[in-house]
A = this chain, B = another copy of it.
Amino acid sequence: MVEKAKEKQTQAKRTVGQKRNVTSYDVAKHAGVSQSAVSRCFKTGASVSKKTREKVMKSVKDLGYRPNAIARGLITRRSNMVGVIVSNLNFYPEILSELSTRFAERGVHVLLFTLDHESDVARTIDEVSQYQVDGVVAAAHLTLEQIQMFEDRNVPLVSYNRSYQDAPVSSVCCDQVEGEKRLVNLLAEHKQHKFFAVVSGPKDSVVSMQRTQGAIDQMKALGIEDVAQVSGDYTYPSGRNALRELVEEYGRVPDAIVCANDMMALGCVDEARHSFKLQVPNDVSIVGFDGVRSAAWLSYDLTTIQQPVESMAEAAVDMLLERINNDQLPPEKRSFSGVLRSGATVKT
Protein backbone atom coordinates (compact mmCIF):
# COMPACT_ATOMS: atom_id res chain seq x y z
CA MET A 1 0.00 0.00 0.00
CA VAL A 2 2.83 2.39 0.92
CA GLU A 3 4.50 1.52 -2.37
CA LYS A 4 1.36 2.28 -4.30
CA ALA A 5 0.82 5.59 -2.52
CA LYS A 6 4.39 6.60 -3.33
CA GLU A 7 3.91 5.67 -6.95
CA LYS A 8 0.79 7.78 -7.09
CA GLN A 9 2.68 10.71 -5.60
CA THR A 10 5.48 10.33 -8.13
CA GLN A 11 2.93 10.20 -10.90
CA ALA A 12 1.24 13.34 -9.60
CA LYS A 13 4.59 15.13 -9.45
CA ARG A 14 5.39 14.05 -12.98
CA THR A 15 2.09 15.49 -14.10
CA VAL A 16 2.90 18.79 -12.47
CA GLY A 17 6.37 18.83 -14.02
CA GLN A 18 4.82 18.17 -17.42
CA LYS A 19 2.14 20.84 -17.20
CA ARG A 20 3.51 22.60 -20.25
CA ASN A 21 2.86 19.51 -22.36
CA VAL A 22 -0.87 19.28 -21.74
CA THR A 23 -2.70 19.50 -25.07
CA SER A 24 -6.26 20.31 -26.03
CA TYR A 25 -6.67 16.55 -26.65
CA ASP A 26 -5.89 15.85 -22.98
CA VAL A 27 -8.42 18.46 -21.94
CA ALA A 28 -11.09 17.03 -24.26
CA LYS A 29 -10.52 13.52 -22.91
CA HIS A 30 -10.57 14.68 -19.29
CA ALA A 31 -13.74 16.74 -19.81
CA GLY A 32 -15.44 14.09 -21.93
CA VAL A 33 -16.04 16.46 -24.85
CA SER A 34 -14.72 16.76 -28.39
CA GLN A 35 -11.44 18.48 -29.17
CA SER A 36 -13.23 21.07 -31.28
CA ALA A 37 -15.45 21.93 -28.31
CA VAL A 38 -12.29 22.71 -26.34
CA SER A 39 -10.91 24.90 -29.07
CA ARG A 40 -14.24 26.74 -29.41
CA CYS A 41 -13.95 27.65 -25.71
CA PHE A 42 -10.82 29.64 -26.54
CA LYS A 43 -12.05 31.31 -29.70
CA THR A 44 -13.59 34.75 -29.42
CA GLY A 45 -17.21 34.72 -30.50
CA ALA A 46 -17.42 30.94 -31.03
CA SER A 47 -20.60 29.22 -29.87
CA VAL A 48 -20.40 26.76 -26.98
CA SER A 49 -22.93 25.70 -24.38
CA LYS A 50 -22.58 26.87 -20.80
CA LYS A 51 -22.41 23.29 -19.57
CA THR A 52 -19.65 22.34 -21.98
CA ARG A 53 -17.70 25.48 -21.13
CA GLU A 54 -17.91 24.70 -17.43
CA LYS A 55 -16.70 21.12 -17.96
CA VAL A 56 -13.86 22.29 -20.17
CA MET A 57 -12.77 25.06 -17.83
CA LYS A 58 -12.69 22.68 -14.89
CA SER A 59 -10.44 20.31 -16.84
CA VAL A 60 -8.30 23.23 -17.99
CA LYS A 61 -7.75 24.18 -14.38
CA ASP A 62 -7.21 20.60 -13.16
CA LEU A 63 -4.67 19.81 -15.86
CA GLY A 64 -3.01 23.22 -15.98
CA TYR A 65 -3.68 23.57 -19.70
CA ARG A 66 -2.59 26.75 -21.46
CA PRO A 67 -4.22 27.35 -24.85
CA ASN A 68 -1.35 28.09 -27.16
CA ALA A 69 -1.89 31.29 -29.11
CA ILE A 70 1.46 30.83 -30.76
CA ALA A 71 0.98 27.27 -31.97
CA ARG A 72 -2.42 28.43 -33.24
CA GLY A 73 -0.57 31.26 -34.99
CA LEU A 74 1.52 28.70 -36.89
CA ILE A 75 -1.67 27.28 -38.35
CA THR A 76 -3.54 30.53 -38.98
CA ARG A 77 -0.30 32.27 -40.02
CA ARG A 78 -1.14 34.99 -37.52
CA SER A 79 0.73 35.63 -34.33
CA ASN A 80 -1.67 38.38 -33.24
CA MET A 81 1.39 40.37 -32.30
CA VAL A 82 2.64 43.54 -33.88
CA GLY A 83 6.09 44.95 -33.35
CA VAL A 84 6.38 48.56 -32.23
CA ILE A 85 9.81 50.11 -32.69
CA VAL A 86 10.08 53.24 -30.63
CA SER A 87 12.86 55.64 -29.85
CA ASN A 88 12.63 58.30 -27.14
CA LEU A 89 10.14 56.35 -25.07
CA ASN A 90 10.82 58.60 -22.12
CA PHE A 91 9.74 61.69 -24.01
CA TYR A 92 6.63 60.34 -25.67
CA PRO A 93 5.09 57.59 -23.55
CA GLU A 94 1.66 58.71 -24.79
CA ILE A 95 2.30 57.23 -28.23
CA LEU A 96 3.06 53.77 -26.92
CA SER A 97 0.20 53.89 -24.48
CA GLU A 98 -2.26 54.92 -27.21
CA LEU A 99 -1.00 52.27 -29.65
CA SER A 100 -0.97 49.50 -27.07
CA THR A 101 -4.50 50.21 -25.85
CA ARG A 102 -5.94 50.42 -29.36
CA PHE A 103 -4.24 47.25 -30.60
CA ALA A 104 -5.37 45.39 -27.47
CA GLU A 105 -8.98 46.40 -28.19
CA ARG A 106 -8.59 44.58 -31.50
CA GLY A 107 -7.10 41.46 -29.90
CA VAL A 108 -3.54 42.25 -30.90
CA HIS A 109 -0.60 42.74 -28.55
CA VAL A 110 2.49 44.84 -28.85
CA LEU A 111 5.97 43.36 -28.87
CA LEU A 112 8.18 46.24 -27.88
CA PHE A 113 11.50 47.26 -29.36
CA THR A 114 12.98 50.34 -27.72
CA LEU A 115 15.96 52.18 -29.14
CA ASP A 116 18.34 54.42 -27.24
CA HIS A 117 19.11 56.26 -30.46
CA GLU A 118 17.25 56.44 -33.76
CA SER A 119 20.34 55.06 -35.47
CA ASP A 120 20.11 51.79 -33.49
CA VAL A 121 17.24 50.68 -35.69
CA ALA A 122 19.33 48.56 -38.08
CA ARG A 123 20.19 45.83 -35.60
CA THR A 124 16.59 45.69 -34.42
CA ILE A 125 15.06 44.76 -37.76
CA ASP A 126 16.33 41.19 -37.82
CA GLU A 127 15.08 40.64 -34.31
CA VAL A 128 11.67 42.06 -35.18
CA SER A 129 11.19 39.73 -38.09
CA GLN A 130 12.34 36.67 -36.16
CA TYR A 131 9.35 36.97 -33.87
CA GLN A 132 6.90 36.55 -36.76
CA VAL A 133 4.96 39.64 -35.88
CA ASP A 134 1.98 40.27 -38.18
CA GLY A 135 3.14 43.80 -38.85
CA VAL A 136 5.22 46.67 -37.53
CA VAL A 137 4.68 50.27 -36.47
CA ALA A 138 8.01 52.10 -36.60
CA ALA A 139 8.28 55.31 -34.60
CA ALA A 140 11.93 55.59 -35.59
CA HIS A 141 13.61 56.56 -38.82
CA LEU A 142 14.20 53.77 -41.33
CA THR A 143 16.46 53.92 -44.35
CA LEU A 144 14.98 52.98 -47.72
CA GLU A 145 17.04 49.79 -47.55
CA GLN A 146 15.50 48.93 -44.19
CA ILE A 147 12.00 49.59 -45.53
CA GLN A 148 12.82 47.21 -48.37
CA MET A 149 13.76 44.54 -45.81
CA PHE A 150 10.24 44.61 -44.40
CA GLU A 151 8.85 44.50 -47.93
CA ASP A 152 11.08 41.51 -48.79
CA ARG A 153 9.86 39.68 -45.72
CA ASN A 154 6.21 40.41 -46.42
CA VAL A 155 5.85 42.28 -43.13
CA PRO A 156 3.32 45.14 -43.37
CA LEU A 157 4.83 48.36 -42.10
CA VAL A 158 3.39 51.69 -40.98
CA SER A 159 5.78 54.47 -40.21
CA TYR A 160 4.74 56.72 -37.31
CA ASN A 161 5.66 60.41 -37.60
CA ARG A 162 8.39 59.76 -40.16
CA SER A 163 7.41 60.30 -43.77
CA TYR A 164 9.27 59.09 -46.83
CA GLN A 165 8.30 61.43 -49.61
CA ASP A 166 9.32 59.37 -52.58
CA ALA A 167 9.10 55.85 -51.16
CA PRO A 168 6.02 53.61 -51.28
CA VAL A 169 5.63 53.17 -47.53
CA SER A 170 2.56 53.79 -45.40
CA SER A 171 2.92 56.53 -42.83
CA VAL A 172 0.99 58.62 -40.32
CA CYS A 173 2.50 62.00 -39.60
CA CYS A 174 1.97 65.27 -37.94
CA ASP A 175 2.77 68.00 -40.46
CA GLN A 176 6.01 69.29 -38.95
CA VAL A 177 6.70 71.94 -41.57
CA GLU A 178 3.20 73.41 -41.46
CA GLY A 179 3.40 73.50 -37.66
CA GLU A 180 6.71 75.37 -37.66
CA LYS A 181 5.34 77.83 -40.22
CA ARG A 182 2.52 78.75 -37.91
CA LEU A 183 4.85 79.15 -34.93
CA VAL A 184 7.26 81.34 -36.90
CA ASN A 185 4.37 83.43 -38.29
CA LEU A 186 3.11 83.95 -34.75
CA LEU A 187 6.55 85.07 -33.55
CA ALA A 188 7.06 87.29 -36.59
CA GLU A 189 3.85 89.19 -35.85
CA HIS A 190 5.60 90.96 -32.99
CA LYS A 191 7.85 93.76 -34.19
CA GLN A 192 10.15 93.51 -31.15
CA HIS A 193 11.23 90.06 -32.33
CA LYS A 194 14.31 90.81 -34.39
CA PHE A 195 16.96 88.32 -33.34
CA PHE A 196 15.67 84.76 -33.88
CA ALA A 197 17.24 81.49 -32.76
CA VAL A 198 16.54 77.84 -33.45
CA VAL A 199 17.38 74.93 -31.12
CA SER A 200 17.49 71.68 -33.10
CA GLY A 201 17.28 68.14 -31.69
CA PRO A 202 19.52 65.09 -32.05
CA LYS A 203 21.43 64.92 -35.33
CA ASP A 204 20.00 61.52 -36.26
CA SER A 205 16.38 62.60 -35.78
CA VAL A 206 14.64 63.29 -39.07
CA VAL A 207 11.69 64.87 -37.26
CA SER A 208 14.01 67.39 -35.61
CA MET A 209 15.61 68.08 -38.99
CA GLN A 210 12.21 68.69 -40.63
CA ARG A 211 11.09 70.98 -37.84
CA THR A 212 14.32 72.98 -37.73
CA GLN A 213 14.48 73.34 -41.51
CA GLY A 214 10.77 74.20 -41.64
CA ALA A 215 11.30 77.00 -39.13
CA ILE A 216 14.39 78.39 -40.87
CA ASP A 217 12.75 78.26 -44.31
CA GLN A 218 9.74 80.18 -43.05
CA MET A 219 11.98 82.77 -41.36
CA LYS A 220 13.81 83.25 -44.66
CA ALA A 221 10.49 83.51 -46.52
CA LEU A 222 9.58 86.35 -44.14
CA GLY A 223 12.91 88.10 -44.68
CA ILE A 224 14.46 87.07 -41.37
CA GLU A 225 18.10 86.24 -42.06
CA ASP A 226 20.99 85.56 -39.67
CA VAL A 227 19.17 83.04 -37.51
CA ALA A 228 21.22 81.79 -34.55
CA GLN A 229 21.44 78.03 -34.35
CA VAL A 230 22.46 75.63 -31.61
CA SER A 231 21.50 72.02 -30.98
CA GLY A 232 20.33 69.88 -28.08
CA ASP A 233 19.33 66.24 -27.68
CA TYR A 234 15.57 66.69 -27.02
CA THR A 235 16.07 66.63 -23.22
CA TYR A 236 15.26 69.34 -20.68
CA PRO A 237 18.90 69.78 -19.59
CA SER A 238 19.94 70.24 -23.22
CA GLY A 239 17.35 73.02 -23.54
CA ARG A 240 18.88 74.82 -20.55
CA ASN A 241 22.30 74.35 -22.06
CA ALA A 242 21.13 75.65 -25.45
CA LEU A 243 20.23 79.04 -23.97
CA ARG A 244 23.63 79.33 -22.29
CA GLU A 245 25.34 78.43 -25.58
CA LEU A 246 23.32 81.01 -27.49
CA VAL A 247 24.28 83.75 -25.06
CA GLU A 248 27.95 82.74 -25.08
CA GLU A 249 28.15 82.42 -28.83
CA TYR A 250 26.09 85.43 -29.89
CA GLY A 251 26.76 87.71 -26.92
CA ARG A 252 23.08 88.29 -26.14
CA VAL A 253 19.77 86.60 -25.47
CA PRO A 254 17.69 86.10 -28.65
CA ASP A 255 14.29 87.82 -28.87
CA ALA A 256 12.56 84.64 -29.99
CA ILE A 257 13.64 81.01 -29.68
CA VAL A 258 12.11 78.12 -31.63
CA CYS A 259 12.89 74.75 -29.98
CA ALA A 260 12.46 71.51 -31.93
CA ASN A 261 10.48 69.95 -29.09
CA ASP A 262 8.69 70.88 -25.87
CA MET A 263 11.18 69.35 -23.44
CA MET A 264 13.99 71.57 -24.70
CA ALA A 265 11.64 74.57 -24.71
CA LEU A 266 10.79 73.95 -21.03
CA GLY A 267 14.50 73.76 -20.20
CA CYS A 268 15.04 76.98 -22.12
CA VAL A 269 12.20 78.76 -20.26
CA ASP A 270 13.54 77.64 -16.87
CA GLU A 271 17.13 78.62 -17.70
CA ALA A 272 15.96 82.07 -18.83
CA ARG A 273 13.92 82.60 -15.67
CA HIS A 274 16.00 80.98 -12.99
CA SER A 275 19.60 81.35 -14.21
CA PHE A 276 19.40 84.55 -16.31
CA LYS A 277 16.62 86.11 -14.19
CA LEU A 278 14.76 87.05 -17.35
CA GLN A 279 11.03 87.38 -17.87
CA VAL A 280 9.37 85.02 -20.32
CA PRO A 281 7.87 86.30 -22.61
CA ASN A 282 8.76 89.94 -21.84
CA ASP A 283 12.50 89.48 -22.36
CA VAL A 284 12.42 86.42 -24.61
CA SER A 285 9.67 84.47 -26.40
CA ILE A 286 10.04 80.68 -26.52
CA VAL A 287 8.04 78.05 -28.44
CA GLY A 288 8.21 74.25 -28.55
CA PHE A 289 6.58 71.43 -30.52
CA ASP A 290 4.60 68.30 -29.43
CA GLY A 291 2.11 69.42 -26.83
CA VAL A 292 3.38 67.18 -24.01
CA ARG A 293 1.41 67.27 -20.78
CA SER A 294 3.94 69.32 -18.84
CA ALA A 295 3.84 72.07 -21.50
CA ALA A 296 0.36 72.94 -20.22
CA TRP A 297 1.36 73.07 -16.54
CA LEU A 298 0.75 76.43 -14.83
CA SER A 299 4.48 77.09 -14.39
CA TYR A 300 4.98 77.02 -18.16
CA ASP A 301 1.84 77.42 -20.27
CA LEU A 302 4.08 76.93 -23.29
CA THR A 303 3.12 78.06 -26.78
CA THR A 304 3.49 74.96 -28.93
CA ILE A 305 1.99 72.76 -31.63
CA GLN A 306 -0.09 69.98 -30.16
CA GLN A 307 0.31 66.75 -32.10
CA PRO A 308 -3.05 64.97 -32.43
CA VAL A 309 -1.66 61.81 -30.83
CA GLU A 310 -5.02 60.05 -30.49
CA SER A 311 -6.00 60.54 -34.13
CA MET A 312 -2.54 59.57 -35.26
CA ALA A 313 -2.46 56.39 -33.16
CA GLU A 314 -5.94 55.42 -34.33
CA ALA A 315 -4.90 55.94 -37.95
CA ALA A 316 -1.69 53.90 -37.51
CA VAL A 317 -3.58 50.99 -35.93
CA ASP A 318 -6.27 51.06 -38.64
CA MET A 319 -3.78 51.22 -41.48
CA LEU A 320 -1.63 48.41 -40.15
CA LEU A 321 -4.50 46.02 -39.40
CA GLU A 322 -6.04 46.71 -42.83
CA ARG A 323 -2.74 45.81 -44.46
CA ILE A 324 -2.34 42.67 -42.36
CA ASN A 325 -5.79 41.56 -43.53
CA ASN A 326 -5.24 42.53 -47.14
CA ASP A 327 -1.71 42.56 -48.51
CA GLN A 328 -2.95 43.99 -51.80
CA LEU A 329 -3.69 47.43 -50.32
CA PRO A 330 -1.40 50.13 -51.69
CA PRO A 331 0.77 52.19 -49.33
CA GLU A 332 -0.96 55.27 -48.00
CA LYS A 333 0.33 58.46 -46.43
CA ARG A 334 -1.80 60.29 -43.90
CA SER A 335 -0.76 63.68 -42.57
CA PHE A 336 -2.47 65.42 -39.67
CA SER A 337 -2.24 69.10 -38.87
CA GLY A 338 -1.11 69.93 -35.38
CA VAL A 339 -3.11 72.32 -33.24
CA LEU A 340 -1.55 75.66 -32.34
CA ARG A 341 -1.69 76.02 -28.57
CA SER A 342 -1.23 79.69 -27.73
CA GLY A 343 0.27 79.79 -24.28
CA ALA A 344 1.99 82.48 -22.25
CA THR A 345 5.56 82.17 -23.52
CA VAL A 346 5.20 84.44 -26.58
CA LYS A 347 4.97 88.26 -26.39
CA THR A 348 1.66 89.61 -27.64
Contacts and interface: CB of A to CB of B under 8 A. Distances in A.
A274 B296 CA distance: 13
Interface in A86-127: 89-90, 93-94, 96-97, 100-101, 104, 109-114, 116, 127
A330 to B, nearest CB: 16
A97 B90 contact: yes
Contact of A298 (B79, B93, B274, B293): B274
Interface string A191-222: 00000000000000000000000000000000
Contacts of A114: 96-97, 100-101, 104
Given A64-B152, A93-B93, A112-B110, A69 B299 contact: no
A114 B95 CA distance: 12
A73 B131 CA distance: 10
A294 interface: yes
Contact of A73 (B70, B77, B275): B70
Contacts of A90: 93-94, 97, 293
A308 interface: no
Interface stretch (A24-32, A179-187, A265-273): A265-273
Contacts of A116: 101
Contacts of A89: 93, 96-97, 100
B266 A297 contact: yes
A69 B131 contact: yes
A157 to B, nearest CB: 14
A101 B61 CA distance: 35
A71 interface: yes
A173 to B, nearest CB: 22
A69 B111 contact: no
Contact of A111 (B64, B81, B271, B298): B81
Instruction: Name, among A61, A73, A153, the residue most crowded by chain B CB atoms within 10 Å (CB to CB).
Output: A153
Interface in A9-30: 19-20
B96 A130 contact: no
B109 A109 contact: no
B109 A110 contact: no
Contacts of A111: 81, 109-112
A71 B271 CA distance: 54
A140 to B, nearest CB: 14
A68 interface: yes
27 contacts: A61-B152, A64-B154, A66-B130, A69-B130, A70-B70, A71-B132, A74-B74, A93-B93, A100-B113, A100-B114, A101-B114, A104-B113, A109-B111, A109-B112, A110-B111, A110-B112, A111-B111, A111-B112, A112-B112, A236-B293, A267-B297, A270-B298, A273-B298, A273-B299, A274-B299, A275-B298, A299-B299
Given A70-B70, A109-B127, 20 more contacts: A19-B154, A20-B154, A64-B154, A66-B153, A68-B130, A84-B112, A89-B100, A90-B97, A93-B93, A97-B114, A100-B113, A101-B114, A109-B131, A112-B112, A236-B297, A267-B297, A270-B299, A271-B298, A274-B298, A274-B299
Closest 10 CB pairs of A and B: A93-B93, A270-B298, A69-B130, A274-B298, A299-B299, A100-B114, A110-B112, A89-B97, A70-B132, A19-B154
